[in-house]
A and B are shown apart, each in its own frame.
Chain A
Amino acid sequence: MNIVVCVKQVPDTWAERKLKPSDATLDRESVDGLINELDEYAIEEALQIKEAHGGEVTVLTMGPEKAAESIRKALSMGADKAVHLLDDALAGSDVLQTSYALAQVLGSIGFDLVVLGAESTDARMGAMAAMLAERLGVPQLSLASKVEIDGTAITIHRQSEDGYWKVAGDLPAVVSVVEKINEPRYPSFKGIMAAKKKPMQVMSLADAGIDPSLVGLANAATEVVDFAERPPRQSGTIVKDEGDGGNKAAEFLATSKFI
């Protein structure tokens, strides 16, 4: 089975993340980047599917050169090879454009199964799996807490607000995974060494058949009008409990009309 895992390099959520004043795009220079947390679950799921059903796991990312760090992480976990869509013209692409670019690459490299993390920690839109399924015309099996494959039939447990839904389709398909699906493995020393020798293909817009007029900040379907750091909250009243902390909290609730 030809499994492709889409990964994204994101700014560390523990760092202070900012937009650049010049063009309101993410400032990727000032903070450390790392692989999006949920993507590690996607890689783990892909590796488990490969271990059970055979095949090959390809990592796909779109992003600047530094995004290769995320690829290396995925390869060191055990993915077989990687494709890096790397082109300056992609900078500042919004979700509509990114889904177009990724769909073009997926179309050109081919797949039986695409696996993604359910959302990224930076943009948090959680729409990519649906958008790729829409563009590729394949089943959308997203928000999965469990994936089962039997021949070409694939069934997932889709996380819902009040439980889960069993959703079934046929391969090829797009799957996105939520945190509770598995426990991602740590790369072994052997894995880290082996990753350095694994094939990594760099693709440009032309290589993937991407129309340059459909990607990049200038052609984006959305724009940032302005942005600002949120002003710090006005400091509140902090009291030390001296046997009446609960009374004081109740008083605050009453003054604020919550009770």
Chain B
Amino acid sequence: MNQKIVRMIALGSFALVVLLSASQTRAEDSKTPYSSMAPLDQYLMTDRNAEIALARSAVPESISRDAEVLVLGRHGYETAVKGKNGFVCVVERSWMAPFDDPEFLNPDQRLPLCLNPPAARSHLPLTFRMTELALAGLSKTQMFDSIKAAFDKNELPMPEPGSICYMMSKQQYFGRKYGNADPHLMFWVPKTDDMFWGAGLYGSPVYVHQYSPEPITEFIISVSKWSDGTAAPTD
């Protein structure tokens, strides 16, 4: 993880160079509710322990207690708690939302997730890269282009087989429309058809999100309980 942070800082320097042009693009995005980054403080959590607890709430305590925990600092994610089971828990911010999501850059969004070891290896680099770009103040368009280029150049990894993450936190917040949604698991695979899992069809318990520009497909399965053991809404 430390290597990632170092790389993040290096990239931050690069990002400063393009900051001016970023401000121009921001103006083009002004029609969306969150057209540009809010002040950084709005994305940060002042209470480090609260962020650790929130990150861990993504998954039952039986898994999270031995997981590595990352928290967001002014220059990117930092390791707050070292783990020993290969899982990594983190609170993602709204720049990890789909680029066309109205909540993209919403400073209120908090998405705790715990990734299993294959996902920690192959998905977190994307989280780190997006965070670098966001903290550097790039526009949505610039972020999109940068991520696309990174995948085109194989600078970011494809999902490893068996890459999954838990999102079972009752405190998760997707935005005003979806609130805390429901507890669910997500599965990342190299871009494939929805039908690979029969997802998105009428009656299917599997939902799907096709990333763009990332060549990644995300399958989603809702589960019945939050990480604290309480029942989720049935509908």
Partners in one complex: no
